[in-house]
Structure 1
Amino acid sequence: MMFFLIFIVTFLIMECVTWCTHKYLMHGLMWYFHLDHHQPKYAAVFERNDVFFVIFATPSILLFYFGSEAGFDYKFYIGLGILAYGLAYFFVHDIIIHQRFKWFKNTKNKYLIGLRKAHKMHHKHLGKEDGECFGMLFVPFKYFKI
């Protein structure tokens, strides 16, 4: 039960980590990598922005390794929470919102529509300043109104 709680808490904390990373690193010091994500899309399969998947995966991989070496202790389940959030992020951000794969294109789900609206507001700013809606899974309620 304790390890499941560690997993869930880690998953939820990752939304806060993502918000802070997105606002202060991606739209700050690491804008070079995130810039192409805010520009009109071309036929490229990958963006420089995809480097953030590697950055976020690294601690998860290390925690898996060191947590399994220690007999699957809490570090392993923290790594699992980070991995689960990364998969959710990929599914929500890249598949549902940006349609890198054309699934859920015509959804009527209010939550998914709200996510898309909030992210669209984020992307209306082509520069790194004046951004809004830096979270991914939890967005302001005003975007869920129809």
Structure 2
Amino acid sequence: MVFVLITLGVFLLMECVTWLTHKFVMHGFGWYLHEDHHQPKYQGVFEKNDAFFVVFAIPSIALFYFGTYTEHTFLFYIGLGILFYGLAYFMVHDVLIHQRFKWFKRTNNRYLKGLRKAHKIHHKHLGKEEGECFGMLFVPLKYFKKPKL
């Protein structure tokens, strides 16, 4: 049971790590890698921004290794939490929002529509300044409200 809590806790903590990384690294000194992601048209299959998937995968892989081959089993579950968050991020960001894979083209789910709306607001800024909505799975409630007719 404690390992489930570790995995879930790390998964939730990763949203904070993602927000901070997105705001201060991707829209800061890492803008060189993130900039192409904010351009209207992607060039090719991959973006320089995809390098951040590797950056987040390295600690997860290392934690799997050390959690498997040492007596510190909890490290494995920390790596698992990072992996699960990475999978959720991929499904939401690359599949649902940016439609890089055409798996879920038509969803009427209010939560998923709110995530898409918040990310659209984030992408209305083509530069690294004046960004908003840096989170991925938890965004401000105003994006989930139905528009008044």
Q: CA deviation at 1:72?
A: 6.3
Counterpart in the other structure of 1:53: 53
Give the 5 Å matches for 1:70-109.
70-71=70-71, 73-109=73-109
- Give the deviation of 1:42 after TM superposition: 3.5
Matched residues in 2 for 1:103 and 1:129: separation? 32
Partners of 2:90 and 2:32 in 1: CA distance? 21
TM-score, normalised via structure 2 length: 0.96
Give the corresponding residue for 2:140.
140
Q: Distance in 2 between matches of 1:74 and 1:21?
A: 24
Runs of 4+ in 1 over 3 A off after TM superposition: none
Residue segments in structure 1 that go unaligned for 5+ positions in a row: none
Q: TM-score under structure 1 normalisation?
A: 0.97
Query: Percent identity at matched positions?
Result: 72
Using the TM superposition, name which of 102-111 and 61-70 deviates more: 102-111
In structure 2, runs of 5+ residues without a counterpart are none
Whether the aligned pair in 1 keeps the contact of 2:27 and 2:129 (CA below 8 Å) is yes
Secondary structure of 1:75 counterpart: helix
Determine the C-alpha separation between the residues in 2 that align with 1:82 and 1:122.
Answer: 24
Of 63-72 and 128-137, deviating more is 63-72
RMSD: 0.9
State the 1:10 CA deviation: 0.3
- Counting matched residue pairs gives 146
